[in-house]
Amino acid sequence: MKKQLSFALAGVMAVGMLAGCGGGTGSSGSTSESSDGTVNLTFTWWGNQTRNERTQAALDLYSEQNPGVTFDPQFAEWNDYWDKLATAAAGHSLPDIVQMDYSYLEQYVSNGLLVDLTPYIEDGTINVDNVDEGILNSGKVGDGIYALCNGVNVPALLYNKTLLDEAGITIKDNMTMGEFIAVCKEVYEKTGYKTNIAYIDYFCRAYDEIIYESDSIGASQETLEAFYSLYEDGINEGWLLDPSVFAEVTVGSVEQDPMVYGSSPETMSWCFLAHSNQLTAAKSAAPEGMEIGMTTWPSADPAKSDFLKPSQFFAITVDSENPDEAAKVLDFITNSVECNNILLGERGVPISSEVSNAISENMSEDDRNIITFINEVVTPNSSTISPPAPTAASEAYNLNRNLVEKVCYGELTAAEAAQQMYEEGNEIMAG
Amino acid sequence: MKNNKAKSFLEKESVAGVVCTLPFTLGILLFILVPMGISLYYSLCDYNILSPPEFIGIDNYLEMFTDETFFKAIGVTFFYALISVPLRLVFALIVAMLLLNTTKATGFYRAAYYLPSIIGGSVAVSILWKRMFAVDGVINQLLGVIGIETDFAWLGNEKTAIWTLILLAVWQFGSSMLIFLSALKQIPTTLYEAARVDGAGKVRQFFKITLPLLTPTVFFNLVMQMIQGFLAFTQCYIITQGKPMDSTLFYTVYMYQQSFEFKHTGYGAAMAWVMLVIVGLITLILFATKRFWVYEDGV
């Protein structure tokens, strides 16, 4: 009797485990369509608290209007998002709809992970009648459109306006690097607040150089040295934020950016090199009473450096079992006024002109200011965006981050860092 | 009749044994051996995780010899393991000795000291730790209370960042402590009585009786904790991410970066195998030294 019991128990356990395995593959991320015809779509994005809430509400609306379609929404911080997506790609369990960035688009398409949206656009499932051709083509790789832009965006320097007003400092648009550094020094002298700089690709564009070419570093060693000198001088002269600040925060999180997060001027920055669609999140993360202003990023030649950017995309992955339904969701996000009345251009200005006109009255003043900023400040004074970076660039980004850190800690001089970036970077990019 | 036959087949000792161990066997096969095989194959491939792997032989292993960050990570990991493990064991032993005396509150204290080990590897504690050692964190504030005003960046300084991780590791002494505690209880009190009669003091008793009789337990703890130390991941990944300047870059975190961030998944897999060899060698070395210091005659 005892033996029979133990056998039965073992049997139950074994069956349970096998069933567990079976269930595991089913719920591994992509679509599952159960017998009663309901569809569940996994939808992922990176972002911030404002975006999480709005996206969730928009997906709820879709489920309401389309009974039988439910979502499994998943969000992560920028860094974790890409690790997670890469692992999912290896396990062939990519979510149905993924938020995609311009810098990663090329690698996901060249590895055959995204669905070509052209057929859906041709048969009208995704309506692009009111979308500018140039914006639509920003999601084009080779002959196919693999990702649908969900908003237009520009680099934007956000700054602590309250602080600068008190110090009597005014900021003008299209600052040159020299003017910017003068402001940094003035702010530091008057208030003690420091500065958080700078983006290498933006910096190099001023010299007609593209930092990450398809198989090499496109910047000259002189330009790189000038870039690292910014850090060297900033640390020596005291106005640059100490690198130790970044050891304590989640880098890339708007909520923990030194402009809004920190306890003393020593650990805070008066500005934040952000993008225009981060204004809303930065404002809601800012402490009570901090007014935030917006201008262009500094550059030796702003007209060459600045660009209009597809803020991000939505794409359908090859692991989706229900690309047709997913395409309908993309259409909904692109063309539904109701949906965009919830999203309110948080990701960027909606690409359908009809939608962006329809929701403009519901947009906050900030969002309307962003549109004005994009149209009147950046558009007339900018150049075409650089081509998407190749796969090897992610290691080169990391090399640059480490070199910047070493320069800030005084381990390397700007010239040494430039040489390393040039030599090792070229090795990395060559593969 | 047929039914009976099936029944007698199932009642055989060997069949019951196989069936009973099936869940475990399947677990090992599916979740350990198969993934290990796959990883071995990847380690011989050029694999960027996004597209299918391509066989390239041992290139990944050769590449390590020219990878400076790889050696840096090895150095950091050895430093971390070789310092945090002995410290943790010493600490565990001290606390175990203190908790040996039974009073009403002993049970509570044992549980309380064990708690960090249960929650220690978790993300929540790591985040807590990161906040504690921040410039405006509780550590600097406590220092302020005792009169040392400071805004020292523990995590941002190349010299101190690794020590915050070591401290976290030492704090998680609970599981070693429990093992020490049970071993301490096994030492016959008659030995101590005899020693006392012979005039040996407490310190002498500890070094002449307690420690020698504990050496098998020390050995066991040392091996287990050493392996764990080399494989530590969460603390580093959450608290420092290798910063500043790779001074806290654990081997496993570098492996993770290579595999998932830089998309050198084949290289990452090769690193995993090298780690296996390193941990294996260390364990072997520990076993080789065993006969010199571990007292195994029993009591």
B3 interfaces chain A, CB cutoff of 8 Å: no
Beta-carbon separation of A267 and B22 below 8 A: no
For A212, counting Cβ atoms within 10 Å of its Cβ (0-12 exposed, 13-18 middle, 19+ buried), the class is buried
Instruction: Write the CA distances from A182 to A177, A179, A195, A232, A296, integer angstroms.
Output: 9, 5, 11, 16, 16
Peptide bond into B23 cis (omega under 30): no
Question: Which CATH architecture describes the domain A39-151+310-375?
Answer: 3-Layer(aba) Sandwich (3.40)
Question: What distance in Å separates residue B146's CA from the closest CA in chain A?
Answer: 21
Measured at the alpha carbon of residue A198, what is the angle toward residues A196 and A201, in degrees to the nearest 5?
Answer: 165
> Is the CB of residue A403 less than 8 Å from the CB of residue A231?
no
Of A17, A246, A398, the CB nearest to B26: A17
The Cα–Cα gap between B103 and B110 comes to 11
| B237/B135 Cα distance (integer angstroms) | 20
Calculate how close chain A gets to B139, using CA atoms only, in Å. 14
Residue B200 has pLDDT above 60, yes or no: yes
Nearest CA in chain B to A243: B156
Query: Crossing angle, helix A414-430 and helix A221-237, to 10 degrees?
Result: 140
Q: Are B51 and A10 within 8 A, CB to CB?
A: no
What is the mean pLDDT of the segment spanning A311-322? 92
Q: Which amino acid is at A339?
A: C
Contacts across the A-B interface (CB distance below 8 Å): 111
Across the interface, whether the CB atoms of B262 and A243 are under 8 A apart is answered no
Q: The complex's ipTM? A: 0.72
Cα separation, A205 vs A304, whole angstroms: 6
Collapsing DSSP to helix, strand or coil, B231 comes out as coil
Beta-carbon separation of B156 and A248 below 8 A: yes
Looking at domain A153-308+383-430, its CATH architecture is 3-Layer(aba) Sandwich (3.40)
Which residues in chain B have their CB less than 8 angstroms from residue A107's CB? 50, 263
Q: Dump pLDDT digits (tens) for B47-62.
A: 888 888 889 988 999 9
Cβ contact (<8 Å) for B135 and A3?
no
Answer whether A186's CB lies under 8 Å from A315's CB: no
| A28-32, A266-270, A291-295: segment of lowest average pLDDT | A28-32
Q: Which residues of A touch B136 (CB under 8 A)?
A: 263-264, 267
pLDDT of residue A289: 85
* CB-CB contact of B177 with A266 (8 Å): no
Nearest CA in chain B to A4: B11
Instruction: Tell me the pairing of strands A97-100 and A39-46.
Output: parallel
Give residue-wise pLDDT tens across range B159-170. 888 999 999 888
Inter-chain residue contact A409 with B158, CB threshold 8 Å:
yes
Phi and psi for A99 in degrees, rounded to 5? -80, 135
Q: How confident is the model at residue A27 (pLDDT cuts 50, 70, 90)?
A: very low
Greatest CA separation for chain B: 88
pLDDT value of position A20: 40
CA distance B189 to chain A (A): 42
Region A335-342 average pLDDT: 91
The mean per-residue pLDDT over the stretch B108-125 comes to: 78
Tell me the shortest Cα–Cα distance from A409 to chain B, in angstroms. 9
CB contact under 8 A, A406 and B260: no
Q: What is the C-alpha R_g of chain B?
A: 25
Instruction: Specify the domain boundaries for CATH 3.40.190.10 within chain A.
Output: 39-151+310-375, 153-308+383-430
**What was the pLDDT predicted at B52?**
84
Do B151 and A264 make contact, defined as CB atoms within 8 angstroms?
A: yes
Provide the pLDDT for residue B2: 58
State the SS3 of chain A. CHHHHHHHHHHHHHHHHHHHHHHHHHCCCCCEECCCCCEEEEEEEECCHHHHHHHHHHHHHHHHHCCCEEEEEEEECHHHHHHHHHHHHHCCCCCCEEEECHHHHHHHHHCCCECCCHHHHHCCCCCCCCECHHHHHCCEECCEECCEECCEECEEEEEEHHHHHHHCCCCCCCCCHHHHHHHHHHHHHHHCCEECCCCHHHHHHCCCCCCECCCCECCCHHHHHHHHHHHHHHHHHCCECCHHHHHCCCCCCHHHCCCCCCCCHHHCECEEEEEHHHHHHHHHHCCCCCCEEEECCCCCCHHHHCCCEECCEEEEECCCCCHHHHHHHHHHHHHCHHHHHHHCCCCCECCEHHHHHHHHCCCCHHHHHHHHHHHHHHHHHCCCCCCCCCCCHHHHHHHHHHHHHHHHCCCCCHHHHHHHHHHHHHHHHHC
* Cβ contact A90–B50 (<8 Å): yes
Higher-pLDDT residue of A1, A291: A291
Query: Which residues of A are less than 8 Å from B30 in CB distance?
Result: 21
A292 pairs with which residues across the strands? Answer: A160
Query: Which pLDDT does position A34 carry in this prediction?
Result: 52
Computed over every residue of chain B, the mean pLDDT equals 87
- B155:A244 CB<8 A: yes
To the nearest whole Å, the CA of B157 is away from the closest chain A CA by 7
C-alpha separations of A309 from A91, A359, A397, B121, B275 in Å: 31, 21, 19, 41, 43
Q: Out of A10, A266, A409, name the one closest to residue B151 (CB).
A: A266
The reported pLDDT for the residue numbered A331 is 93
With beta carbons under 8 A apart, name residues in chain B contacting A244.
Answer: 135, 153, 155-157, 244
**Interchain contact B138–A (C-beta under 8 A):** no
* Cβ–Cβ gap A244/B157 under 8 Å: yes
Which residues of A sit within 8 Å Cβ distance of B? 3-4, 6-7, 10-11, 13-14, 17-18, 21, 79, 82-83, 86-87, 89-90, 107-108, 111-113, 242-248, 263-264, 266-267, 391, 394-395, 398, 402, 405-406, 409, 411
Q: In the Cβ-directed half-sphere of A107, how many Cα atoms lie within 13 Å?
A: 22
Residues of B whose CB is below 8 A from A82: 260-261
Mean pLDDT of A74-102: 90
Q: How confident is the model at residue A10 (pLDDT cuts 50, 70, 90)?
A: very low
Task: Tell me which chain A residue has its CA closest to the CA of residue B7.
Answer: A4
Decide if pLDDT at A3 tops 60.
no
Question: Are residues B244 and B161 in contact, defined by beta-carbon separation less than 8 angstroms?
Answer: yes
**Contact (CB, 8 A) for A155 and A307:** yes
